[in-house]
Amino acid sequence: MNKKLKYLIYGLGRSGQSALKLALKMDYICWVVNKGKVSSWQRPWFGDHLYSEDQAIEENIFSQVDVIVISPGIDLRQEYLQKAFRTGVVIMSEIEFAYQHLGELDAPIVGITGTNGKTTTTSMLGELIKLSGKSAFVGGNIGIPFCDYILANTKVDFIILELSSFQLEAVDKFHVNVALILNIFQNHGERYNDIFSYAQAKLNIVNNMDSEDFLIYLDDVCKTIALPKDLNCNKISFCTNSVTNSSLITDLDMKKFKLVGMHNILNLYCCLQVAKILDIKQCFYQEIVDTFYGVEFRLQFVPFTGKYQIYNDAKSTNWSATLSALNAFKGSDKRISVIIGGQFRGHGDSIKEYVEEFKDYHIYLIGETTDLLAKELDGVVSYQKAYTIEKVKQFADKNSDFEILLFSPAFPSFDQFENYVARGTAFTSLFIAGS
Domain with 374 in it: what CATH number? Answer: 3.90.190.20
Instruction: Note down the domain range covering 286.
Output: 102-291
Q: Which of 247, 270, 291 is the last residue of a domain?
A: 291
Across 182-191, 242-251, 346-355, 361-370, least confident range:
182-191
| CA-CA-CA-CA torsion sign (63, 65, 67, 68) | negative
Residue 65 lies in a domain: yes
CATH number at residue 58: 3.40.50.720
β-strand pairing of 309-312 with 362-366: unpaired
Contact 244, 224 (CB under 8 A): no
User: Between residues 192 and 405, which one has the greater pLDDT?
Assistant: 405
User: Would you call 231 exposed, middle or buried from its count of C-beta atoms within 10 A (0-12, 13-18, 19+)?
Assistant: middle
Numbers of helices and strands, H then E, in the chain: 17, 17
**How many percent of the chain have pLDDT more than 70?**
97
pLDDT-derived band at 284 (thresholds 50, 70, 90) equals: very high
| DSSP one-letter code for 39 | G
pLDDT at 66 over 70: yes
Axis-axis angle for helices 118-131, 262-277 (nearest 10): 50
347 shares a domain with 322: yes
pLDDT in tens, 119-147: 999 999 999 999 999 999 999 999 899 99
Q: Which of 92, 111, 146 is the last residue of a domain?
A: 92
252 shares a domain with 349: no
Residue 348 lies in a domain: yes
Residue 369 lies in a domain: yes
**What is the strand order of the sheet 29-34 is part of?**
49-52, 29-34, 6-10, 67-70, 90-93
331 shares a domain with 203: no
239 shares a domain with 146: yes
pLDDT in tens, 4-47: 789 999 999 999 999 999 999 999 999 999 998 888 886 767 87
Q: Mean of the per-residue pLDDT values for the chain?
A: 92
pLDDT at 2 over 70: no
pLDDT at 199 over 80: yes
**How many percent of the chain have pLDDT more than 90?**
74
What's the confidence (pLDDT) of residue 249? Answer: 97
What's the confidence (pLDDT) of residue 265? Answer: 94
182 shares a domain with 59: no
Residue 229 lies in a domain: yes
In DSSP terms, which residues pair with 49 in a beta bridge? 31
Question: How far from 221 is each of 225, 229, 350, CA to CA, in Å?
Answer: 6, 15, 23
Whole-prediction pTM value? 0.79
User: Between residues 117 and 191, which one has the greater pLDDT?
Assistant: 117
404 shares a domain with 279: no
Residue 46 lies in a domain: yes
222 shares a domain with 310: no
308 shares a domain with 184: no
Stretch 182-189: mean pLDDT: 78
The total of structural domains in the chain comes to: 3
CA–CA dist 431, 82 (Å, integer): 47
What's the confidence (pLDDT) of residue 434? Answer: 53
Across 128-137, 275-284, 305-314, 413-422, least confident range:
305-314
Residue in 1, 68, 77, 3 with CA at minimum distance from that of residue 33: 68
136 shares a domain with 256: yes
Question: How far from 429 is each of 53, 245, 293, 342, 398, CA to CA, in Å?
Answer: 36, 40, 19, 19, 19
* Alpha-helical regions (H) of 169-261: 195-203, 221-224, 240-244, 247-250
420 shares a domain with 359: yes
- Residue 334: helix, strand or coil by DSSP? coil
pLDDT in tens, 369-390: 999 999 999 999 999 999 999 9
Stretch 192-215: mean pLDDT: 91
What's the confidence (pLDDT) of residue 307? Answer: 85
168 shares a domain with 222: yes
247 shares a domain with 211: yes
pLDDT-derived band at 189 (thresholds 50, 70, 90) equals: low
What's the confidence (pLDDT) of residue 250? Answer: 96
pLDDT at 1 over 50: no
Residue 97 lies in a domain: no
pLDDT in tens, 84-99: 999 999 999 999 999 9
